[in-house]
């Protein structure tokens, strides 16, 4: 597959590294030589120092024969314009990163499609969705819904109160049981478990279940004492904070703390229709946090542009008794450190955006591709074609590649967990969890 990425900034660089695993033909265009150099010589991609809106440069990069053009520069107008040009030259699909929330309105998608922009990515909105999913369930590190919750994946940190520790999974996750463990993160390593594996204290366990059994999962992992989130404190009033507040459930009360007085005035204007209190101050100030009632707050969300500040603020909030903390960590190198400090939910916008773009390079009918940073794994929703290899035998006889497991499927709107005897049918939405395996290899089972 021929892929052109415009913009060697955070998202473009991360995406180039992610896609280079698939050994595709990738070109990165950027007008700054230093940014291109930072991608690194260890990544098998071509770089081109040029403007992404230069027709000559696009032709030289191969836009006339490209399968996918991805524009992820900080300049929204440049992204849109370069997508239109690439499409006009012959590129099959284009995707543009935008900053204007107006552009994500559903009725505008067909309009942009006619212009030549196949898809719009708004990272702040994607991050807000993940944040709010985490806030709705204070005891869950990460939640991922399929078909409106017909299937649900829950990442849960296991503590002493968990009742299913140290038991072989074959005794816990049988065909009649209401959940499967699809992955385990332990001591920095990801395990795709078999029947002889056991859950251990402090594991991060990934459960696949259906919506009606979420209370049951909460009970067996010993999280019933975790209070539901009603009061939220957000440090940092950027675009992600705004989108989070605007999409937050109405029963939650939220306070936003920002150190910039002018930004606070802007927040009051942007959020005038929301039930949000904006406070001008330093979110690292312990006395301010106590004065604003952090001890009666169930969730603390750190969304400043500084990863270290966000991590330290979440540690402080935990010390003050806040159960649920969320930290935006844009520096990939800090993610493992944040995990080791038991921060809670970690948000990385470039990884979230890259996951949404990633599915466009696959030929099978794939939706909802997510790269799970904490597990260093991919989870995706595949829909098998008529006659696909995966529909010909029961799951236990498919000879699936090592590092792949099927968590469940949705058929006619109903979620089902998958056992060894399950026969997958064409048109099913199949949840695949994979670690250290090329997605193209899995794709061949579904086409």
How far, in Å, CA of 133 to CA of 142, rounded?
Answer: 8
CA angle (150 as vertex; 217, 153 as ends), nearest 5: 45
- Tell me, yes or no, whether 365 and 418 share the same domain: yes
pTM here is 0.81
On whether both 297 and 377 belong to a single domain, the answer is no
CATH code where residue 401 lies: 3.30.70.1450
Kindly state whether residue 55 falls inside one of the protein's structural domains.
yes
Residue 256 in tokens:
């936003």
CB 70 within 8 A of CB 92: no
Residue 131's pLDDT is what? 92
- Whichever domain contains 239, its CATH number is 3.40.50.720
The C-alpha atoms of residue 127 and residue 244 are separated, in whole angstroms, by: 8
What's the CA gap between 335 and 327, in Å, rounded?
A: 10
What is the tens place of the pLDDT at every residue in 296-339?
999 999 999 999 999 999 999 999 999 899 999 988 778 878 87
Distance from first CA to last CA of the chain, Å, rounded? 17
Residues 34 and 101 in one domain: yes
Domain membership of residue 286 (yes or no) is yes
pLDDT at 364: 46
Q: Which residues of the chain have pLDDT under 70?
A: 21-23, 40-42, 358-376, 438
Q: What is the largest CA-CA distance in the chain?
A: 65
Where is the domain boundary, 276, 294, 322?
Answer: 322
pLDDT number for residue 374: 59
Q: For residue 253, what pLDDT is reported?
A: 95
> Which residues contact residue 323 at a Cβ distance below 8 angstroms, ignoring those fewer than 6 apart?
138, 226, 227, 298, 299
Specify if 434 maps to a domain.
yes
Tell me the Ramachandran region of residue 131: left when phi exceeds 0, alpha when psi lies from -120 to 50, beta otherwise: alpha
pLDDT in the model for residue 444: 83
Tokens of 281: 């101050």
Q: How far is the C-alpha of 280 from the C-alpha of 237, rounded, in Å?
A: 10
Q: Would 43 be classed as within a structural domain?
A: yes
- The whole domain housing 74 covers 2-121
Instruction: Using the 3D structure, point to which of 121, 141, 158 is the last residue of a domain.
Output: 121
In a domain, 128, yes or no: no
- From 395, 355, 409, select the one nearest 377 (Cα to Cα): 355
Residue 177 is predicted with a pLDDT of 82
**CA 402: distance to chain centroid?**
24
């Amino acid at each position: 597959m021929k892929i052109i990425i415009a913009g060697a900034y955070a998202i473009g660089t991360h995406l180039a590294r992610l896609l280079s695993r698939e050994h595709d033909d990738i070109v990165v265009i950027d007008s700054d030589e230093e940014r291109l150099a930072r991608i690194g010589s260890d990544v098998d991609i071509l770089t081109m120092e040029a403007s992404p809106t230069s027709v000559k440069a696009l032709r030289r990069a191969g836009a006339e024969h490209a399968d996918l053009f991805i524009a992820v520069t900080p300049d929204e107008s440049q992204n849109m314009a370069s997508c239109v040009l690439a499409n006009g030259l012959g590129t099959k699909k284009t995707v543009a990163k935008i900053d204007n929330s107006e552009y994500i309105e559903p009725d505008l998608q067909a309009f942009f499609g006619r212009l030549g922009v196949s898809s719009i990515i708004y990272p702040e909105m994607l991050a807000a969705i993940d944040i709010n999913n985490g806030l709705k369930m204070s005891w869950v590190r990460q939640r991922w819904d399929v078909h409106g919750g017909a299937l649900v994946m829950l990442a849960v940190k296991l503590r002493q109160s968990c009742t299913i520790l140290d038991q072989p999974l074959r005794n816990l996750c049988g065909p009649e049981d209401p959940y499967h463990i699809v992955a385990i993160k332990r001591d920095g390593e990801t395990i795709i478990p078999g029947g002889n594996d056991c859950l251990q204290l402090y594991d991060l366990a990934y459960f696949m279940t259906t919506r009606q059994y979420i209370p049951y999962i909460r009970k067996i992992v010993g999280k019933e004492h975790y209070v539901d989130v009603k009061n939220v404190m957000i440090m940092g009033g950027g675009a992600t904070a705004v989108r989070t507040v605007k999409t937050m459930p109405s029963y939650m009360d939220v306070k936003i703390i920002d150190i910039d007085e002018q930004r606070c005035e802007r927040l009051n204007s942007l959020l005038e229709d929301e039930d949000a209190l904006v406070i001008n101050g330093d979110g690292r100030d312990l006395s301010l946090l106590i004065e604003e009632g952090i001890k009666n707050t169930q969730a603390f969300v750190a969304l400043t542009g500084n990863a270290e500040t966000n991590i330290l603020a979440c540690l402080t909030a935990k010390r003050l008794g806040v159960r649920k903390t969320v930290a935006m960590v844009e520096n990939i190198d800090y993610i493992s450190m944040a995990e080791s400090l038991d921060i809670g939910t970690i948000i990385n916008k470039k990884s979230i955006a890259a996951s949404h773009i990633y599915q466009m390079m696959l030929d099978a009918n794939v939706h909802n591709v997510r790269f799970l940073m904490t597990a260093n794994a991919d989870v995706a929703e595949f829909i098998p074609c008529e006659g696909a290899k995966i529909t010909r035998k029961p799951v236990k006889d498919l000879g699936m590649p090592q590092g792949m497991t099927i968590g469940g499927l949705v058929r006619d709107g109903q979620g089902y967990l998958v056992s060894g005897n399950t026969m997958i049918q064409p048109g099913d939405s199949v949840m695949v969890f994979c670690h250290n395996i090329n997605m193209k290899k899995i794709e061949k089972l579904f086409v």
